[in-house]
A and B are shown apart, each in its own frame.
Chain A
Amino acid sequence: MVAAIEVHDHDLTAAFRTLSTAVLTLETIDAVFVPMRLPCGSAVMPTLVTDPAHLERIDPLAPSFALNAAKVVGQLTRNRKAGIGKIAVLLRPCEIRAFVELVKLNQGQTENILIIGSDCLGAFTNHDYFAFAQAKGEDASRIFYQSMLSGQEAVLEGINLSGACRACESFLPTGADLAVRLWGVATERHILLEAQTDKGAALLEKLQLPTGQVPSEREGVVHALVDQRTDYRDAMFAATAAAIGTLEKLAAYLSHCVNCYNCRVACPVCYCRECVFTTDLFDHDPLQYLSWAQRRGAVKLPTDTLFYHLTRMAHMSTACVGCGQCSNACPNGIDLMPLFRLVAHRTQGVFDYKAGEDLAAKPPLTQFKEDEFQEVVGIGE
């Protein structure tokens, strides 16, 4: 089932506003969760809205991705108490994937929410977005989405999409109840809505929108973009693999790390309430540091830098959705995303798993089969 929302004056944001208002007006929906340009300044943040008047400032197509909202949606859906209302959440595809992973880890649930996902146009890094928004003011989002959808070079004012977005081949909202179609759609006339689940179909029916049709050229547009992104990703993987091939190279890659653990805080799938690296397990005895230094001649402080990153790879790489917030969060500009995406690509590949794609697929490390991976057993004389 496909429905259309008309677009006037090339204003896609207004079409999203029409959609959000219509959804919020439904009796079954108590609130909508949408990215909104804050009244003060140019920051675009996820916002929980109950009064349709506030939808005036929503800005879902801004090239801003301040945080992966999956964790926040997890907080909104943590318990199943009766009487908790229904919320419609508008998320980027990588936010939906991260949320799906969190639901599998019992950090949220899907019963009380309805996920609306949009074809993703990508975003700049936080740093680049501030500069862009400052230069373009209120027009920033419009300039961005028009440029992206007209197939022009994504670079604006010398600013390109973040590395994570340029390497992203999963820009369609898999897992959403209701999908907003933009790529390959005549967005000067309308945006299209397609139900992907029964929940989505029921909502679409209630919205009573005119029907639309997905144009045949969409498939080609999507394929071309997937190919372009996959090429970029594979080149990135090759360059990264060459840059981390030994422990020494990995240390060089991470040499500006100051153990602030911001990448873990920003990571939507690192969900432990208390990370082992912030416990007193790592308040080593002073003598311990001396003994390390004596054994090696010198030791970099704080210690446990590679240990931290390698542990994170072991703990969360099978759930990595490639959103790139780790790179965004690093105060010292370490580009963690290529490293983690590369490792995740391999670890997820080994278990034939794609993080966030299928709610029914169990996380690899929560299950096992009796006859598998025989090749890792035995010392192979």
Chain B
Amino acid sequence: MESFEPVVVAFVCNWCTYTAADLAGTSRLDYPPNVRLIRVMCTGMVDPQYILKALLEGADAVLVSGCHPGDCHYINGNYKARRRIKLLKEILPQFGFEPERLQLTWIGASDGIQFAAIMRALVAQVTALGPSQARSAMIV
């Protein structure tokens, strides 16, 4: 059997987590290529719909990552994101999606090392979990 390479779709905010990813890159820190970063202006603009779409398309996990509480460039977008994640975490497990398939983290702009570490840990976690049930679904 081929080794399983998970796909992780990560919605990262322009001001903190994307900047941290940039820092990880310029610092030449390694992190797994399984993570597909999607830069958004703020985690507060991530409609639950985007997350659902990624999961139904067969992403093995979705990460939403933004500024630490109190640091949001738009004052409170990350708090709104947290409520939406809470909402989805109540909905998705009812349909057999493991809670680990949706994650929220706060990674500040200067946390390049932490960014790389979290990506490594996340990919390891999802690899252990195995492929998502949505990968092979005929009805989406």
Contact = CB atoms under 8 A, between A and B. Distances in A.
B88 to A, nearest CB: 6
Contacts of B100: 379-380
B46 to A, nearest CB: 11
Nearest to A365: B83
Interface in A338-381: 342-343, 346-347, 350-351, 364-365, 368-370, 372-373, 376-381
A55 B119 CA distance: 68
Interface in B74-106: 76, 79-80, 82-91, 94-97, 100, 103-106
B58, B95, B104 — most chain A CB neighbours (10 Å): B95
Interface stretch (A9-17, A154-162, A313-321): A313-321
Contacts of A244: 94-95
Interface in B106-140: 106, 118, 121-122, 125, 133-140
A300 B105 contact: no
A250 interface: yes
B37 interface: no
Interface string A296-338: 1111100111110011011101100000000000000000000
Interface size class on chain A is 35 or more
A315 B48 contact: yes
A245 B83 contact: no
A247 B86 contact: no
A246 B139 contact: no
A310 B93 CA distance: 12
A366 to B, nearest CB: 9
Contacts of A297: 136, 138
B52 A248 contact: no
A255 interface: yes
Contacts, number: 130
Contacts of A310: 52, 56, 91, 95
Given A346-B94, A368-B76, A376-B86, A311 B48 contact: yes
B27 to A, nearest CB: 21
Contacts of A207: none
A317 to B, nearest CB: 7
B122 A377 contact: no
B106 A377 contact: yes
Interface string A213-230: 000000000000000000
B91, B106, B136 — most chain A CB neighbours (10 Å): B91
B3 interface: no
A298 B138 contact: yes
B93 to A, nearest CB: 10
Contacts of B58: 295
A7 interface: no
11 contacts: A248-B133, A299-B140, A300-B139, A304-B140, A314-B48, A343-B94, A347-B90, A365-B84, A368-B82, A370-B79, A378-B103
Q: Which 7 A-B pairs have the closest CB atoms?
A: A314-B48, A246-B96, A368-B79, A251-B139, A300-B139, A373-B86, A311-B49
Given A304-B140, A343-B94, 9 more contacts: A247-B137, A249-B96, A292-B140, A305-B139, A306-B140, A314-B88, A318-B87, A351-B86, A377-B105
